[in-house]
Amino acid sequence: MRIATWNVNSVGARLPRLLGWLGTARPDVLCLQELKCSGEAFPHAEVAELGYDVACHGSGRWNGVAVLSRVGVEDVTRGLVDEPAYEDARQPRAIGATCGGVRVWSVYVPNGREPGHPHYAYKLAWLEALHATVLAETGGERPFAVLGDFNIAPTDDDVWDVSLFTGATHVTEPERKALAMLRDAGLTDVVPRALKYDRPYTYWDYRQLAFPKNNGMRIDLVYANARFAGAVTDAYVDREERKGKGASDHAPVVVDLAL
């Protein structure tokens, strides 16, 4: 079984690349983030032609998440347990679905902007709601994983130069503590264990030649329970999909499992 996650940074702008990638990589399940479209505007028909069912949670211009599956979509849940609002609105940042017996959550964690900003407090509160959701769903032997753009680099090695992040988000202790809480809940950051190369960045800014210089960050993560993690046979970051005209600033992360 092949399960992937990808922040596409606008499904409308990236549709030709999305359809092409689905046709070549052939994931059984794909978690998408930053759709930047409503559920009604999602390209359901185009994706269905490739054999994928869709569960979507989007409201318009910003945010938005989805789960695409060739192995069925059941028990869809939109939003987290006690999910907080920002500026009086609950943003479409999390969707859960069961696909071929595997429970997945596609998540787009708030950026946080900068420590001290209200969006940073929202980010930490949102991560607490994600933790509560994980605790509510991880019981039993069912394979379970949370995949997506976490907007957190788990370690200093997951950014190209941590000295440049002094006083910035993505590397602060409270954010990393939230990831530690997911690990305490029984989840494992599965991708580094399976990858066969160092510094597997997943995001590179469009500016200052960040991608050619490999000035990247590993912020697109797969956190999974023991049943899922124990079945992982391989994983890779598809850097090729970050290349060329019209690419997202994130690359797909792919995990293969023997289930």
Our answer to whether residue 149 is catalytic in this structure is yes
d(CA 103, CA 101): 7
Spatial neighbors of 81 by CB under 8 A, at least 6 apart, are: 129, 132, 133, 136
Query: Which residues define the annotated binding site for Mg(2+)?
Result: 7, 34, 149, 151, 249-250
Catalytic residue among 28, 149, 158, 189: 149
Q: Report yes or no: 42 and 54 within 8 Å, Cβ to Cβ.
A: yes
Residue 104 Rama label (left phi>0; alpha psi -120 to 50; beta): beta
d(CA 59, CA 42): 10
d(CA 229, CA 221): 13
Our answer to whether residue 161 is catalytic in this structure is no
Spatial neighbors of 9 by CB under 8 A, at least 6 apart, are: 34, 36, 248, 249, 250
Catalytic residue among 108, 201, 203, 236: 108
Catalytic residue among 57, 131, 170, 250: 250
Which residue type does 41 have? A
Alpha carbon 224 to its chain's center: 12
Q: Residue-wise over 200-237: b if at least 16 C-beta within 10 A, else e? A: bbbbbeeeeebbeeebbbbbbbbbbbebbbebbeebbb
Q: Listing from the earlier edge strand, what are the strands of the sheet with 74-78?
A: 74-78, 94-99, 102-108, 144-149, 220-224, 188-189
| Sign of the torsion angle spanned by Cα atoms 160, 199, 95, 11 | positive
Our answer to whether residue 108 is catalytic in this structure is yes
| DSSP-derived 3-state class of residue 120 | helix
Q: Which residues are catalytic?
A: 108, 149, 250
